[in-house]
Amino acid sequence: MVGLGRMGSNMVRRLMRAGVRCAVHDRSRDSVAALVREGALDAGSPAGFLKSLAKPRHVWLMVPAAVTDAALDELAQSLEPGDTLIDGGNSHYQDDLGRAERLAKRGVRYVDCGVSGGVFGLERGYCLMIGGDADVVARLEPVFMALAPGKAAASPTPGRASKGTADQGWLHCGPHGAGHFVKMVHNAIEYGLMAAYAEGFNLLHHAGAGRDARAVDAETAPFRHPEFYRYDFDVAEIAELWRRGSVIPSWLLDLTASALAGHKDLAKFSGQVADSGEGRWALAAANDLGVPVHVLAASLFGRFASRGESEFQDRVLSALREQFGGHAEKTTA
């Protein structure tokens, strides 16, 4: 394993628990030392994998997408024909095609693997979306089985006839790039689901606005029925409630309930929501394919706006209203 951050470290731990021997490398010696204490071998350097692993070697990268290419190329210098590089980071699926071709010239095999599970993966297991050649994927089966959540993570689907591995929590999705393509779409769905929960809880959060006095002037939309909006909802308790027997439970709802428990106002967060690329790539793929992705677009643009990227356009709106109607801006602060 190369890259012993939040993901890589716990993946090594889960692999070792299942009896898979691991050699590790990271630019941080502390991260290496922590795993060596738990039984991993210290590869020492990218070249160290040549000595510390038996042939054919399998080296898994768990680094930020922006540094994956450089790390892959450095590692490839240290590997031999028949060895395999696996990128488990959130890379753009289109990069996988060029990487596979480049590595094939040295006889090094390549597998792209979208990994879902976050910091809870150590205990819950990691959902694995895999792209590459079938023979290498088959060779890696013990590794995928060790990392994946396993059959017990969900009840059997009635009517499912397939004997495939999906019900173990890992799947060979297709050729190079297929794993990261599926992960990209998984994250696009995640954006939408998160936005839907966030929006719903925000609506509940504002449902008491009828109790407050509202300005009566030409700049303020009339509040026709303030008496309909006099609720003081306990959002934490509603999140807890919906986890049981409603039609919208999910792990994301569990996490929402956990975040709200005791911290209903979420005051420690600024609300500036980052995005690490998959949503943009999914939107671009949808554009290329002419496929509508309304929910993804709205949730991705919501994240941009949360970071202040709509500030200038909002000023343009205010400037226009001032020009054509003499409307002065009302500030809420």
List, by residue number, the catalytic residues: 183, 190
Segment interacting with ligand NAP, rule: CB under 6 A, options 22-30, 242-250, 284-292, 310-318: 22-30
Shortest Å distance, C-beta 3 to ligand NAP: 4
Asked whether position 10 contacts ligand NAP by CB under 6 A, the answer is no
Buried b or exposed e, range 14-43, using 16+ CB within 10 angstroms = bbbeeeeebbbbbeeeebbebbeeeebbbb
**CA angle, residues 285, 272, 210, in degrees to nearest 5:** 110
Residue 2's φ and ψ, nearest 5 degrees, are -115, 125
How many residues does this entry show for the chain?
A: 333
CB of 176 to ligand NAP, least distance (A): 17
Q: In the complex, which residue's CB is closest to ligand NAP?
A: 5
Q: What are the tokens at 27?
A: 């630019």
DSSP 244: T
Q: How many CB atoms lie within 10 A of CB 154?
A: 10
Report the alpha-carbon distance of residue 104 to residue 81 in Å, rounded: 9
Question: From the list 44, 48, 56, 118, which residue makes contact with ligand NAP (rule: CB under 6 A)?
Answer: 118
User: Does 8 sit near ligand NAP (CB under 6 A)?
Assistant: yes
90 part of the interface to ligand NAP, by CB under 6 A: yes
The H-or-E segment that residue 317 falls in is helix 311-325
Applying CB under 6 A, among 12, 23, 26, 100 the residue interacting with ligand NAP is 26
Cβ nearer to ligand NAP, comparing 26 with 242: 26
The least distance separating ligand NAP from the CB of residue 63, rounded to whole angstroms, comes to 4
- Given the complex with ligand NAP, which of 27 and 55 has the nearer CB atom? 27
- Asked if 62 interacts with ligand NAP (CB under 6 A), we say yes
The token duo for 217 is 């002037």
Which residue, 34 or 166, is less far from ligand NAP as judged by CB? Answer: 34
Rounded Cα distance between 187 and 283, Å, is 11
Tokens 């450089």 — which residue?
70
Whichever of 67 and 138 has its CB closer to ligand NAP, that residue is: 67
Lookup result for tokens 């999906």? 166
- Tell me if 182 sits within 8 A of 114, measured CB to CB: yes
Quick one: 190 or 240, whose CB is closer to ligand NAP?
A: 190
**Paired residues of 127 in beta bridges:** 116
Binding positions for ligand NAP, 247-276, rule CB under 6 A: 276
We find the least distance from the C-beta atom of residue 7 to ligand NAP, in angstroms, to be: 3
Name residues whose C-beta falls within 8 Å of residue 117's C-beta, 6 or more positions apart in sequence: 124, 125, 126, 127, 149
246 touches ligand NAP by CB under 6 A = no
Closest CA to 11 of 1, 21, 26, 19: 1
Distance separating alpha carbons of residues 284 and 2, to the nearest angstrom: 30
Of 89 and 192, which CB lies nearer to ligand NAP in the complex structure? 89
18, 21, 28, 82: which one binds ligand NAP (CB under 6 A): 28
What's the rounded Cα separation, in Å, for the pair 295 and 291? 12
Q: Does 125 bind ligand NAP (CB under 6 A)?
A: no
Comparing CB distances to ligand NAP, the nearer of 67 and 328 is 67
Instruction: Establish if 6 lies at the interface with ligand NAP (CB under 6 A).
Output: yes
Instruction: Candidates 20-28, 144-152, 172-180, 251-259: pick the segment binding ligand NAP (CB under 6 A).
Output: 20-28
Is 131 near ligand NAP (CB under 6 A)?
A: no
Q: State in angstroms the smallest separation of the CB of 75 from ligand NAP.
A: 11
Amino acid identity, position 63? V
Chain residues binding ligand NAP by CB under 6 A are 3-8, 26-28, 31, 62-65, 67, 71, 89-90, 115-116, 118, 276
